[in-house]
Structure 1
Amino acid sequence: MRNFLVILIFFLSIKGFSQELNCSLVVNAEQTGNENFPIFKTLEKQLTEFVNNTKWTNKTVKPQERINCSMIINVSDYSGENFQATLQVQSGRPVYGSSFSTPLYNFNDKDFTFRYLEFQNLIYNPSQFESNLVSVLAFHVYMILALDADSFEQNGGDEYYRQAQVITNYSQQGNFKGWKVEDGLQSRFALIDNVLSPTFKEYRDVMYNYHRNGLDVMSNDVKAGKDEIAESLKKFQAMNSRRPNSFLLRTFFDSKADEIEQIFTDGPSVNIAAVKETLQKVAPMHNSKWQNIKY
């Protein structure tokens, strides 16, 4: 009996440390004029528990290793069980040797409609469509996991990108927007399709080199880290020449523009002219920030 209790406690302790995300999830219903309705608080509570308590991978994760992220669901309209909303997703990861957190993912999902009945069970099935609400959140969870893994290991996010693609494929049967090629160039379909396409192969190389060989090095050698970040950003030039102003480039710089500006406006100095030339070519939408790089 004593041995059984020891084993039980051991497995319970593993289960307690198994979840991968530390996600702040908010349901904002101000646009509906009924933001105080109980259903929105119930939805927020259920989704928070769903995202943070679901076991998304087969890895054992300690509390301090959980990925910090946020999801803000802005409900614009609802009728009965039908909801119209947008979803803003962000995530980051710590930088080695510092108290600084670097942003990895910043995505505004504008095609987010779903059905929800208060207190309904939220079940994630890795190989089968359950609901658009579950599919959309699960898709973004796997994008968060994939980008985090890519930032620590070359192509480390492979299995998570593949699962995001699986979710995309089986969710097309639900006839909700965002899952198909015809849903536009800034959809969930476009995002995962681009990440896995050889046309944008430099994207994942940059994600690794920028973070692991750049930011993580700066605690020991600031100049070496900055030089690596500058070199990694140059890789975007080849990608941009094939597909100018691509969706992936915009998602990267939506997350990184402020950080890059800060890195290169502080010492020690590197070849600022070359850095600015690269940034102006691949991310002209942020030229106002690049003009501030004068160190």
Structure 2
Amino acid sequence: MHKYLYILLILVVTMSWSQELNCNVVVNAQQTGNENVQVFKTLERQLKEFVNNTQWTNKSYKNQERIDCSMVVTITDYDTDRFQASLQIQSSRPVFGSTYGSPTYNFNDKDFSFQYLEFQNFVYNPTQFESNLISVLSFHVYMILGIDADTFSPNGGDEYYQQAQTILNYSQQNNAKGWSLQDGRQTRFILIDNMLSPTFEDFRNVLYSYHREGMDQMSANPKAAKSTIVESIQLLQKMNSKRPNSFLMRVFFDTKSDEIEQIFSGGPTVNVSDLISTLTKIAPMHSSKWRNINF
């Protein structure tokens, strides 16, 4: 009896500490000409352990519930312990009734400089700056969590966006690029500022309706699901009329353009003439894909 209780206790503890992310982390140093230097391999291993083993929330995730994502750190230059890089982040969420993962976040963070000594400890502090390396990674982890939560419940990502905002606030003391309004229009600052702004509340509504009311219904009623997705995209037109060419619009279509092209290039037919017109207007950079939507 005691043996079974002991096994049950181990299972409960394991489940309660299951981490939130299933993240593939790659450090690519080819541009430095020294990609085989050991420090890059150590950095990759430590980053992978940090992202996947840190407890980012107080919620319990089963292994099959962990969010699939990837982070590719491309080192462009380094000198001793100082590194210049870019960071490509992608994540997806499962679609109900299928084995398909719908992309939810696709962000190329070009303002990524950091200091790193081989084997240094990686510690995340939710209220205090540790290093720019930790801050940038943690910021994007909470963006992944926030967007994922928004796709499952209306405004479900609030607490995660608030934590991303907290990270931004205490990281500004470091004076590294990407944390300030003065750093440009396609930065971490602009991203979280827009996500929390009432001006862009339609964007978060779209995240929910597109995924929960659209994609998750595809296996049961694909035609109705596609019509819901059309309505979701039309809602972005409303947002665009208030703030044309917003950064959030670019982030959305960088993430979803391939999927939208595939959804409306096969399967049950729905009226897409207005959709194509809307897509061409609000996301002209992907017009070659919209031309493939031909029925």
TM-score, normalising length from structure 1? 0.96
Structure 2: give runs of 5+ residues left out of the alignment: none
**2:239 alignment counterpart:** 239
Superposition pairs for residues 133-282 of structure 1, below 5 Å?
133-282=133-282
Q: CA RMSD in A?
A: 1.4
Structure 1: give runs of 5+ residues left out of the alignment: none
TM-score, normalising length from structure 2? 0.96
CA distance in 2, matches of 1:234, 1:6: 52
**1:13 alignment counterpart:** 14
Task: Give CA deviations for 1:235-266 in whole Å, capped at 9, x if unaligned.
Answer: 11111112211110000000100110111111
**2:126 alignment counterpart:** 126
CA distance in 2, matches of 1:13, 1:214: 34
Counterpart residue identity of residue 128, structure 1: Q
Larger mean CA deviation between 192-201 and 225-234 belongs to 192-201
Superposition pairs for residues 53-64 of structure 1, below 5 Å?
53-64=53-64
Secondary structure at 2:114 match in 1? strand
**1:80 alignment counterpart:** 80
Counterpart residue identity of residue 44, structure 2: E
CA distance in 2, matches of 1:12, 1:260: 41
CA distance in 2, matches of 1:261, 1:143: 25
Could you tell me how far 1:269 is from its partner in structure 2? 1.2
CA distance in 2, matches of 1:230, 1:258: 15
User: Does the C-alpha gap of structure 1 residues 81 and 275 become closer, same or farther in structure 2, counting only changes over 3 Å?
Assistant: same
Counterpart residue identity of residue 72, structure 1: V
Counterpart residue identity of residue 294, structure 2: K
**2:66 alignment counterpart:** 66
CA distance in 2, matches of 1:269, 1:10: 48
CA distance in 1, matches of 2:226, 2:74: 37
Secondary structure at 1:93 match in 2? strand
Could you tell me how far 1:267 is from its partner in structure 2? 2.6
Counterpart residue identity of residue 123, structure 2: I
Counterpart residue identity of residue 252, structure 1: F
Could you tell me how far 1:12 is from its partner in structure 2? 3.7
CA distance in 1, matches of 2:293, 2:264: 6
Q: How many residues get paired?
A: 293
Counterpart residue identity of residue 187, structure 2: S
**1:288 alignment counterpart:** 288
CA distance in 2, matches of 1:8, 1:118: 37
Could you tell me how far 1:11 is from its partner in structure 2? 5.3
Counterpart residue identity of residue 15, structure 2: I
Could you tell me how far 1:272 is from its partner in structure 2? 1.1
**1:44 alignment counterpart:** 44
Could you tell me how far 1:284 is from its partner in structure 2? 1.1
Task: Give CA deviations for 1:151-185 in whole Å, capped at 9, x if unaligned.
Answer: 01111101000000000000001111100111111
Could you tell me how far 1:138 is from its partner in structure 2? 0.3
Could you tell me how far 1:14 is from its partner in structure 2? 3.0
User: Does the C-alpha gap of structure 1 residues 274 and 173 become closer, same or farther in structure 2, counting only changes over 3 Å?
Assistant: same
CA distance in 1, matches of 2:197, 2:13: 41
Could you tell me how far 1:9 is from its partner in structure 2? 2.5
Larger mean CA deviation between 107-116 and 191-200 belongs to 191-200
Could you tell me how far 1:198 is from its partner in structure 2? 1.5
